[in-house]
Amino acid sequence: MDDLVERIQTAYPRIWHAAYRHPGRETGLSERDQRLLSHLASPVETRDLAEHLAIAPSTLSEHLADLERRGLVARERVEGDRRRVVVVLTAAGRAARADQGPLDPQRLVGALERLGPDAPGVVAALERLAEALA
């Protein structure tokens, strides 16, 4: 086991430094934008989102209107209860959300391509390790 621990301790910093997105890269998103987009992995009701973010519904509505104008989110009525509204990411919003993480997606894509057919297994093993550490 000690050998495996040592190998992880050696590999992790190498992976991090090789894929790290260096600060200063311009994303065009404010911290507020990033915070909101980070909570939209799946559709969420506006009232739940406002409560979770501890902001007034009117403040959230203004911010969502801005993100909607920029094509990053869409608001949709809930089928069966037209009073309820969910917020969903658009394709541009998903791209912006993915682009805000600490790791450079282009570097990760390059590494996965170099792994070839082994890539899904490698990622699955990393996911299992992350779950075991949680």
Give the DSSP letter string of 80-106.
Answer: TEEEEEEEEE-HHHHHHHHTTSSB-HH
Each residue's pLDDT tens digit in the chain (134 positions)? 899 999 999 999 999 888 887 644 556 788 788 888 888 888 999 999 999 999 999 999 999 999 999 999 999 988 888 888 899 999 999 888 877 767 888 899 999 999 999 999 999 999 999 899 87
pLDDT value at residue 24: 43
* 126: Cα separation from own chain's centroid: 17
Query: 124, exposed or middle or buried, with CB in 10 Å at 0-12, 13-18, 19+?
Result: exposed
Please report the pLDDT score of residue 134 as a whole number.
76
pLDDT at res. 102: 72
The predicted structure's pLDDT at residue 115: 96
pLDDT for 22 equals 61
Model pLDDT, residue 51: 93
Are 63 and 32 a contacting pair, CB within 8 Å?
yes
Q: pTM higher than 0.85, yes or no?
A: no
- Written as six digits, the tokens of 68 are 């909607």
What does CATH list as the number for 28-99?
1.10.10.10
